[in-house]
Amino acid sequence: MDQVTTGAATIATTDFSIITLFMRADLIVKSVIILLIVSSIYSWALIFEKHKIFKRINLTSSDFEEKFWSSKSAQEIFKKTSEKDLDPMTKVFRAGMSSLNDNKNKGTRESNEIVKRMMDVAIDKEIEIYEKNLTILATIGSVAPFVGLFGTVWGIMNSFQSIAISRNTSLAIVAPGIAEALFATALGLLAAIPAVVAFNKYSNSSRVYTQKLENFSRSFLTII
């Protein structure tokens, strides 16, 4: 009977499935694991959201640019657009045209300066929209490995405590705590790596698109 019990205990300690590692961990390590899993899920949600946003605005802006350069006049395309348009370039264009129409009785230089300021404000507003939550990806990418490392250190401390209590340096005693510790490290990297890659990618996409808006603004000001 004792041999059966010992065998069952041995199997339990050598079971390194993800669920078993989580259930066997103490409260601190469990909290670290849950935090990292939630962070990873949230970062992936942001990644998919940014992918959709940049895909959409690149398509809509390219479509608007094609219509703008093929139209006979800026007023003509202004009438065809709406305040409800979600395309950032369309919003910047409408901000410039609205300002131009409101200040057409003023001097050319003064009117152009007002139009430029209004378009710059519109660009800044759009940047805030498509760059929203990018810093969260950066934060997850930089903090997650250290949170995982904290879980690792805590798990190893528990392993040493097990050795001290049992006075047994057998691998069967040490292995579970080390496995939990390494699991926390793996989750930290799993959360951090995609977040860092996505932050770099979409930061670059943001710079490219912002430059696109600024180039359009300068072209529009040159035309008027």
Domain extents for the chain?
26-223
* Spatial CA neighbour of 46 closest among 132, 143, 124: 132
Task: Give the global pTM.
Answer: 0.79
Distance CA 98, CA 12 (A): 72
* Assigned token pair, 20: 């078993």
Per-residue model confidence as pLDDT tens digits over 170-224? 666 666 667 777 888 889 999 999 999 999 999 999 999 999 999 999 999 888 7
Rounded to 10°, the helix 171-223/108-130 angle is: 160
Distance CA 130, CA 120 (A): 16
User: How far, CA to CA in Å, does 110 sit from each of 99, 115, 126, 214?
Assistant: 11, 9, 25, 20
Half-sphere exposure of 115 (CA within 13 A, CB side): 25
- For the residues 141-158, what does the mean pLDDT come to? 88
Give the confidence band of 12 by pLDDT, cuts at 50, 70, 90: very low
- For the residues 155-178, what does the mean pLDDT come to? 69
- For the residues 17-32, what does the mean pLDDT come to? 76
Q: What is the DSSP letter of 92?
A: H
Half-sphere exposure of 190 (CA within 13 A, CB side): 16
Give the confidence band of 11 by pLDDT, cuts at 50, 70, 90: very low
